[in-house]
């Protein structure tokens, strides 16, 4: 294989249990498995989470939900970002639960739904006043089973935005409860409010994605210490196609972006930006070769990446190196790659392309 990822399902399960311990029975857990479980594989990850007792799973669209049902996933499935009106009633056909994000759609809901309030994210969700929400929900043909919102800046403890969003959400919830329309589920927290213990945002259901895959983003401002011991579940490897020695002064790759200062040995890896290695790692990032960091030299190209292995003479063609993972006390995770590439860890994980084969390990 040229390049592949190894996904540890026991790490996924352990991360789920860590979330479970952190929540301590205060809320149910709805792991987010959208975007093919952040490239970890939605079906296998969902099976592992279901075996751990996850009562709900969240996906982005109907196709993702149907794929899970076809794989015999029985947990409740929330479809967070799709259209409600369909030609067929896929919602009841596949037992999927829609998120309604506009009051205009409430009369069209044929099955129990979760209503999303835009409390300040400025993305999906209704921005209607609480009394308008109450009126629409009361008149709707189906039951509002859940009320939800999503935070824009939960990791920024210098910003009042999350507190303001909580106040708006509470206002909508209180109005519904006062009208006798208390939802069974109330949820607003993804990974960050769980990891940093913002209990007033949990409601009775939380929606962690990143944490399930082993990540908690750093916070800004006066944040509490995160208390969620999770670890990456995915290791990304690439084969070494060739190893060669270059003389001092040799140029490497497109644009001659790197010049060998001294005689150097390089290895050519069978992975490039078409596999998801960010092009911005050109001349910048590193990989792990035989338990040591080996810098990326020259431009990352579509199918190939060159690394400096001068200090790793034992590496040979046919060996594998790690683009993401840990070996010999050295680790590279998606957050480090993201910092070097000027992006976010979510995008690094989701950017691992479909041609990178996935292998499951325990
Ligand atoms: C993706 C998503 C989540 C999960 O976010 P993480 O930061 O990965 O935990 C939760 N809720 C909604 C609405 C999302 O879109």
Give, using CA atoms, the residue closest to atom 4 of ligand 1: 209
pLDDT at 259 over 90: yes
- The residue among 184, 213, 242 that closes a domain is 213
Any idea what the Cα angle at residue 148 is, between residues 227 and 129, rounded to 5°?
Answer: 130
Q: Note whether residue 139 is domain-resident.
A: yes
Burial of 6 (0-12, 13-18, 19+ CB in 10 A): middle
CATH number of the CATH domain containing 245: 2.40.37.10
Q: Is residue 71 part of a domain?
A: yes
Other C-beta atoms lying within 10 Å of the C-beta of residue 256:
11
For residue 192, being part of any structural domain is answered with yes
Residues of the domain holding 258: 234-361
* pLDDT tens sequence across 340-355: 999 999 999 999 999 9
Cα(31) to centroid(ligand 1), Å: 9
Is there a single domain that holds both residue 252 and residue 351?
yes
pLDDT of residue 88: 81
For residues 104 and 199, state if they share a domain.
Answer: yes
Q: What is the pLDDT of residue 362?
A: 87
The answer to whether residues 182 and 52 belong to one domain is yes
Measure Cα distances from 188 to 12, 82, 202, 270 in Å: 22, 18, 6, 42
Q: How far is residue 250 from each of residues 103, 220, 262, 264, 293, measured CA to CA in Å?
A: 64, 43, 9, 9, 22
What pLDDT is stored for residue 240 in this prediction?
A: 98
Tell me which of 213, 245, 280 is where a domain ends.
213
Domain count, the chain: 2
Angle at the Cα of 37 from the Cα atoms of 33 and 43, rounded to 5 degrees? 85
Residue 43: give its domain's CATH number: 3.20.20.10
Of 213, 242, 266, which residue constitutes the final position of a domain?
A: 213
Residues 257 and 343 placed together within one structural domain of the fold = yes
Q: How confident is the model at residue 96 (pLDDT cuts 50, 70, 90)?
A: very high
Residue 313 pLDDT: 94
Distance CA 164, CA 24 (A): 26
- Is 222 a domain residue? no
Check whether residue 258 and residue 327 sit in a common domain: yes
Do 179 and 261 belong to one domain?
no
Pocket test for ligand 1, best of 15, 207, 216, 233 (most atoms within 8 A of CB): 207
Confidence of residue 274 (pLDDT cuts 50, 70, 90): very high
Q: Return the SS3 of 252.
A: strand
pLDDT tens figures, 133-169: 999 999 999 999 999 999 999 999 999 999 999 999 9
Length of the chain: 362
- Per-state percent for the chain, helix, strand, coil, to nearest 5: 30, 25, 45
Same-domain status, 166 and 58? yes
Q: Which of 18, 97, 114, 209 to mutate to test the pocket of ligand 1 (most atoms within 8 A of CB)?
A: 209
Position 86 scores a pLDDT of 78
210 lines ligand 1 (CB under 6 A): yes
Structural domain includes residue 127 = yes
Q: What is the distance between the alpha carbons of residues 130 and 173, in angstroms, rounded to a whole number? A: 8
Answer for the pair 100, 80: CB distance below 8 angstroms, yes or no.
no
Question: How many angstroms separate the CA atoms of 92 and 286, rounded?
Answer: 49
Q: Are residues 256 and 189 in the same domain?
A: no
pLDDT at 260: 96
Q: For the chain, what percent of residues have pLDDT higher than 90?
A: 97
Kindly tell me if the per-residue pLDDT of 125 is higher than 80. yes
Same domain, 315 and 176: no
Within a 10 A sphere around the Cβ of 308, how many other Cβ atoms? 22
- Output the DSSP codes for 278-329: -GGGTTT-EEEETTEEEEB-S---SS-EEEE-TT-TT--TT-EEEEEEEETT
Instruction: Give the confidence band of 277 by pLDDT, cuts at 50, 70, 90.
Output: very high
99 lines ligand 1 (CB under 6 A): no
- Does the structure show a pLDDT above 80 at 87? no
Express each pLDDT in 203-232 by its tens digit: 999 999 999 999 999 999 999 999 899 999
How confident is the model at residue 227, as a pLDDT?
Answer: 87
Does residue 121 belong to any structural domain of this protein? yes
Work out which ligand 1 atom sits closest to the CA atom of 210: 8
- Please indicate, yes or no, whether residues 162 and 260 belong to a single structural domain of this protein: no
Tokens 């020259």 sit at which residue?
Answer: 298
- Asked whether residue 220 is domain-assigned, the answer is no
The answer to whether residues 42 and 102 belong to one domain is yes
Cα-to-chain-centroid distance, residue 344: 10
Ligand 1 within 6 A of CB of 290: no
DSSP string computed for 133-184:
HHHHHHH-SS-EEEEE---S-TTBTT-SHHHHHHHHHHHHHHHHHHTT---S
Q: What's the CA-to-centroid distance between 357 and ligand 1, angstroms?
A: 25
309 pLDDT exceeds 90?
A: yes
Residue 277 shares a structural domain with residue 185:
no
Q: Is residue 227 part of a domain?
A: no
Overall pTM > 0.85: yes
């Amino acid at each position: 294989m040229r390049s592949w990822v190894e996904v540890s399902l026991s790490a996924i399960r352990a991360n789920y249990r860590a979330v479970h311990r952190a929540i301590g029975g205060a809320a149910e857990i709805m792991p987010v498995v959208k975007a093919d479980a952040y490239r970890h594989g939605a079906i296998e990850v969902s099976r592992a989470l279901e075996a751990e007792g996850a009562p709900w799973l969240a996906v982005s669209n109907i196709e993702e939900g149907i794929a899970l049902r076809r794989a015999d996933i029985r947990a409740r499935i929330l479809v967070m970002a799709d259209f409600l009106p369909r030609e067929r009633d896929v919602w009841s056909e596949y037992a999927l639960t829609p998120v309604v994000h506009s009051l205009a759609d409430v009369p069209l809901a044929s099955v129990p739904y979760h209503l999303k309030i835009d409390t300040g994210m400025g993305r999906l969700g209704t921005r209607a006043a609480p009394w308008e929400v109450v009126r629409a929900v009361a008149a709707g043909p189906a039951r509002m089973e859940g009320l939800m919102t999503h935070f824009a800046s939960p990791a920024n403890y210098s910003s009042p935005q999350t507190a303001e969003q909580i106040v708006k959400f509470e206002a909508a919830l209180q109005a519904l409860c006062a009208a006798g329309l208390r939802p069974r589920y109330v949820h607003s927290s993804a990974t960050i409010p769980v990891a940093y213990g913002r209990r007033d945002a949990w409601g009775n259901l939380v929606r962690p994605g990143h944490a399930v895959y082993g990540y908690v983003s750093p916070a800004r401002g006066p944040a509490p210490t995160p208390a969620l011991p999770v670890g990456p579940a995915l290791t990304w490897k690439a084969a070494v196609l060739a190893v060669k020695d270059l003389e001092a002064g040799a140029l490497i790759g497109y644009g001659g972006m790197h010049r060998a200062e001294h005689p150097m040995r390089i290895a050519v890896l069978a992975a490039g930006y078409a596999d998801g290695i960010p092009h911005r790692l050109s001349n910048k990032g590193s990989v792990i070769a035989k338990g040591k960091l080996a810098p990326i030299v020259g431009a990352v190209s579509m199918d190939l990446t060159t690394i400096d292995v001068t200090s790793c003479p034992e590496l040979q063609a046919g060996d594998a190196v790690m683009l993401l993972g840990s070996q010999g006390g050295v680790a590279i995770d998606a957050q480090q790659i993201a910092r070097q590439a000027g992006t976010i860890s979510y995008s690094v994980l989701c950017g691992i392309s479909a041609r990178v084969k996935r292998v499951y390990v325990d």
